[in-house]
């Protein structure tokens, strides 16, 4: 597995098969380099649509593609399924959990971010965030199970706690989750229960700042809030969560009894960056230079959500277009090096941003154009399907959406659990008489 210098071509190690890794590898497809692309998972995840899996609209496989398939035809890439534990910048090697050391000439770090609980790491088990497929399936399990528990709960207070869904954080993910949970409640589950009316469920979106979607123009924040309210989401701004316990959330003096909390409030970059021995910002991101490399190590690029890159006085946001452009940029910088040309500095080209609120409703902030409604929603659908990697996924996803839109149904309403060997038989009641006499009549008595 040690390939530095193999055939005399530089060895590029890419850590992370997200947008950074996939787009960097693709942009190096004709470069005279050998690439090793490492990820803990076998699949690339289309994170912008992850909330659709968490809310039972799409299947896990619809928004993923095996990394090996994506780069199959690119002969200079090798894919390694493995966990990187450290990057030894002095020794120029990436270390894996199984003890392997991969020497590199260039390292591209696109390890993304996890949610941050601002020092309350114990909250995670009570309030999962939405970064991985496993997160999404766990949230889907919790949301669907909450309705099932409510259906069987005779006590009205406890029943209402099951039917209260709290989403913490009013950024795009929080808004999308709140809108989608509100729709499950109002449409998909509406006629499925006998003792509860799912429309009675409360969906609360808590935002610490003065408005939701703070990265958008104020007019769009106001429109998003109005549209969420029209869908029955209770939006509360300036409401900081101060504690999460089993069964309740404390926020701005309120105690909210709830069993389902979803965390969309903060990010922290991958802890792997701490092994780079380079300055990090408060969110744990590596403070990179104009060429996205770290100080003293022009051969080490930190990219995407893992990078703190300032442009026009503000750090670039942790969104997918930044990751794609940074991945492509790093590939360009390496090609410049190999051609002995100077590297151009990185510059993010902002094409605008879109956030979905619900069925037929989104907000768009594109240059000077700020608009909401059905057109923004269609734009969101087409852009997202266009960027979905893998043709099969695009067709299936479009079909799933058309179906969901026409019927208000959600196709992936599935509560799954971790696999374990079946428990051994454990009968509860001892048998008084193992073989009772056969019956004489057929019509049973009725109580």
Which phi and psi angles does 308 have, rounded to 5°?
-105, 105
**How far apart, in whole angstroms, are the C-alpha atoms of residue 303 and residue 329?**
9
**6, 118, 134, 219: residue in contact with a second copy (rule CB under 8 A):** 134
Q: Is 234 in the site for a second copy (CB under 8 A)?
A: no
Q: Is 350 in the site for a second copy (CB under 8 A)?
A: no
Which two three-digit tokens encode residue 148?
């099932």
- Sign, CA dihedral 207-209-214-218, equals positive
**Strands, DSSP E only, in 174-265?**
202-206, 233-236, 241-245, 248-251, 254-257, 260-263
Tell me which stretch binds a second copy (CB under 8 A): 79-87, 243-251, 365-373, 374-382. 79-87
Q: Is 125 in the site for a second copy (CB under 8 A)?
A: yes
Of residues 240-269, which lie at the interface with a second copy (CB under 8 A)?
none
Of residues 136-155, which lie at the interface with a second copy (CB under 8 A)?
137-138, 144-145, 148, 151-152, 154
Q: Is 417 in the site for a second copy (CB under 8 A)?
A: yes
> DSSP class of residue 126?
T
Which two three-digit tokens encode residue 211?
């408005």
Least distance from C-beta 271 to a second copy, angstroms?
Answer: 3
Q: Active site includes 238?
A: no
Tell me which stretch binds a second copy (CB under 8 A): 22-30, 225-233, 366-374, 388-396. 388-396
**How far apart, in whole angstroms, are the C-alpha atoms of residue 217 and residue 115?**
25
Tell me which stretch binds a second copy (CB under 8 A): 208-216, 228-236, 320-328, 413-421. 413-421
- Total residues contacting a second copy (rule CB under 8 A)? 117
**Strands, DSSP E only, in 238-325?**
241-245, 248-251, 254-257, 260-263, 267-269, 286-287, 293-294, 297-302, 307-308, 310-311, 314-315
13, 38 in Cβ contact below 8 A? Answer: yes
> What is the per-residue binding string for a second copy in 159-198, x denoting contact by CB under 8 A?
------------------------------x-xxxxx---
Of residues 83-112, which lie at the interface with a second copy (CB under 8 A)?
85-86, 88, 90, 92, 95, 98, 100, 103, 105-106
Q: Is 74 in the site for a second copy (CB under 8 A)?
A: no
**Could you list the active site residues?**
176
């Amino acid at each position: 597995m040690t390939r530095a210098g193999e055939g005399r071509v530089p060895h590029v190690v890419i850590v992370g098969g997200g947008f950074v890794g996939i787009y960097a590898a693709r942009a190096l497809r004709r470069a005279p380099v050998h690439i090793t692309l490492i990820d803990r998972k076998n699949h690339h995840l289309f994170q912008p649509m992850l909330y659709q899996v968490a809310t039972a609209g799409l299947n896990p496989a619809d928004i993923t593609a095996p990394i090996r398939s994506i780069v199959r035809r690119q002969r200079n890439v090798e894919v390694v399924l493995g966990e990187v534990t450290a990057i030894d910048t002095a020794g120029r090697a990436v270390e894996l959990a199984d003890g392997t050391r991969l020497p590199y000439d260039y390292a591209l770090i696109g390890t993304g971010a996890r949610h941050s609980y601002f020092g309350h790491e114990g909250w995670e088990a009570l309030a999962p965030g939405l970064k991985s497929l496993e997160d999404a399936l766990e949230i889907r399990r919790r949301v669907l199970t909450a309705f099932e528990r409510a259906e069987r709960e005779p006590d009205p207070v406890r029943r209402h706690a099951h039917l209260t869904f709290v989403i913490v954080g009013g950024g795009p993910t929080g808004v999308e989750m709140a809108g989608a949970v509100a729709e499950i409640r109002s449409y998909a589950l509406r006629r499925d229960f006998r003792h509860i009316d799912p429309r009675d469920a409360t969906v609360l979106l808590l935002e610490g700042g003065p408005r939701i979607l703070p990265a958008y123009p104020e007019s769009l924040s106001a429109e998003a809030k109005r549209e969420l309210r029209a869908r029955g989401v209770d939006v509360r701004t300036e409401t900081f969560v101060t504690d999460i316990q089993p069964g309740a959330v404390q926020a701005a003096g309120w105690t909210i009894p709830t069993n389902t909390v979803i965390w969309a409030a903060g990010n922290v970059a991958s802890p792997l960056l701490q092994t780079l021995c380079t300055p990090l910002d408060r969110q744990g991101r590596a403070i990179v230079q104009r060429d996205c490399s770290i100080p003293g190590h022009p051969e080490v690029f930190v990219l995407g959500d893992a990078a703190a890159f300032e442009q026009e006085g503000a750090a670039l946001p942790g969104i997918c277009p930044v990751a794609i452009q940074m991945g492509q940029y790093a590939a360009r910088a390496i090609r410049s090096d190999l051609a002995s040309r100077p590297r151009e500095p990185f510059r993010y080209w902002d094409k605008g941003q879109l956030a979905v609120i619900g069925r037929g409703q989104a907000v768009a902030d594109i240059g000077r154009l700020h608009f909401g409604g059905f057109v923004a929603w269609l734009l969101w659908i087409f852009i997202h399907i266009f960027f979905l990697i893998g043709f099969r996924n695009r067709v299936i996803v479009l079909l799933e959406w058309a179906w969901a839109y026409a019927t208000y149904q959600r196709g992936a309403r599935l509560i799954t659990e971790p696999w374990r060997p079946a428990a051994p038989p454990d009968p509860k009641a001892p048998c008084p008489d193992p073989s009772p006499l056969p019956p004489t009549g057929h019509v049973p008595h009725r109580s």
